[in-house]
Amino acid sequence: MKNIIEVADLSKHYRGAKAVDGVSFTIEKNGIYGLAGRNGAGKSTLMQLIAGQVVKTAGTLQVMDQDPIENAAVMSNIAFIKEAERYPENIIPKVSDVLKFAALIFENWDAEFAEELIADFRLPKNRRMLKLSRGQVSAVGVIVGLASRAPITLFDEPYLGMDPVARKIFYDHLLADYSQHPRTILFSTHLIDEAADLMEHVFVMDQGRFVLNAKTDELRGTAMSIEGLTPTVEEFTSGLETLTIQVIGGFTRAIVSALNSAQRDAAKDLGLTVNPISLQELIISKTNLTEKLETEPAK
């Protein structure tokens, strides 16, 4: 089993709204995959489909070569940590109760690691979940996700409200634990640049579809920014695939698809500045491109 998740033409519609619209991809066993996209792009729904939480409308979805829906053999290998997870106050009121709950369910649960994470995140174990800050509640989710050591771990924007220090602790632990216990991790995020170094592969969704599906390393050099006086930039980019253009007064910054060395030299000769762009900026450009294409199909 090389691919742990195989998806072909997968769709999920809610009363006409296409949350996921004909998506196809594969995820290999053991790797860290990023899922980016704007709010409402379909990221959470895609993760819910993989976790067997919602039923697909059309297409094929195989997790560990099987349909995940109501399949204990598949679902017992999945941990799905959601952004806005609610913890039932009447059953598991305290942080320690959540950990007991998780320990009962997850076969690979590492209690020692969970304790280490609790200490690093400075979480009060005996405090009621209702009394925790938003960031601390997120930290509880992150701890469960990491200590579960589930072979397929899905993090859906897991760090809502977490401060930069806590997020750094999460990234560090994720990477360190992944190197010790490789597994398949798919996490959605808006903080792409922060998490860019973790992702081996990135998917970008927009309006229910994939607009990008590439290895992170390959992606980094696929676009560049050209900056300079507007007429010069316009002239230079006229024959290039332009992703976005920002005009501020007489100055323009364009993001274009990768340039070869001759093109870069030509730009410099024209007095333009050529810079690499961040992964986040690239993704924003790609997402905007979709909108541009859809609103202006004639171009």
Judged by CB under 8 A, does residue 299 bind another protein? no
CA–CA distance, 213 with 200 (Å, rounded to integer): 11
CA–CA distance, 151 with 63 (Å, rounded to integer): 11
Task: Say which residues have a Cβ less than 8 Å from residue 245's Cβ, sequence separation at least 6.
Answer: 233, 237, 252, 253, 254, 255
Judged by CB under 8 A, does residue 285 bind another protein? no
Which of 138, 148, 237, 242 forms a contact with another protein (CB under 8 A)? 148
Judged by CB under 8 A, does residue 116 bind another protein? no
Q: What is the smallest separation between the CB atom of 130 and another protein, expressed in angstroms?
A: 12
Q: What are phi and psi of 90, to 5 degrees?
A: -75, -25
Nearer residue to another protein within complex by CB, 92 or 258: 92
With b for 16 or more beta-carbon neighbours within 10 A and e for fewer, the 207-233 pattern comes to bbbbbbbeebeebbeebbbbbbebebb
The residues in 4-63 that bind another protein, with binding defined as CB under 8 A, are 14, 30, 44-45, 48, 51-55
Which of 26, 60, 65, 89 forms a contact with another protein (CB under 8 A)? 89
| Residue 103, CA distances (Å) to 77, 121, 211 in order | 14, 19, 38
CA–CA distance, 170 with 146 (Å, rounded to integer): 9
Which of 23, 79, 243, 277 forms a contact with another protein (CB under 8 A)? 79
Which of 8, 58, 60, 76 forms a contact with another protein (CB under 8 A)? 76
Number of residues that bind another protein (CB under 8 A): 52
Q: What are phi and psi of 207, to 5 degrees?
A: 50, 40
Judged by CB under 8 A, does residue 174 bind another protein? no
- Beta strands 273-276; 223-229: pairing state: antiparallel
Judged by CB under 8 A, does residue 276 bind another protein? no
Nearer residue to another protein within complex by CB, 48 or 237: 48
Q: What is the smallest separation between the CB atom of 72 and another protein, expressed in angstroms?
A: 4
Which of 20, 27, 77, 117 forms a contact with another protein (CB under 8 A)? 77
Judged by CB under 8 A, does residue 212 bind another protein? no
The residues in 189-208 that bind another protein, with binding defined as CB under 8 A, are none
CA–CA distance, 141 with 102 (Å, rounded to integer): 10
The window from 79-87, 191-199, 204-212, 252-260 that contacts another protein (CB under 8 A) reads 79-87
Instruction: Give the dihedral sign, CA 277/279/282/284.
Output: negative
Q: What is the smallest separation between the CB atom of 298 and another protein, expressed in angstroms?
A: 35
Judged by CB under 8 A, does residue 71 bind another protein? yes
Judged by CB under 8 A, does residue 130 bind another protein? no
31 with 200: CB under 8 angstroms? Answer: yes
Q: What is the smallest separation between the CB atom of 93 and another protein, expressed in angstroms?
A: 6
30 with 52: CB under 8 angstroms? Answer: no
Positions that interact with another protein (CB under 8 A) = 14, 30, 44-45, 48, 51-55, 64, 70-73, 75-93, 97, 100-102, 104-108, 144, 148-151, 156, 181-183
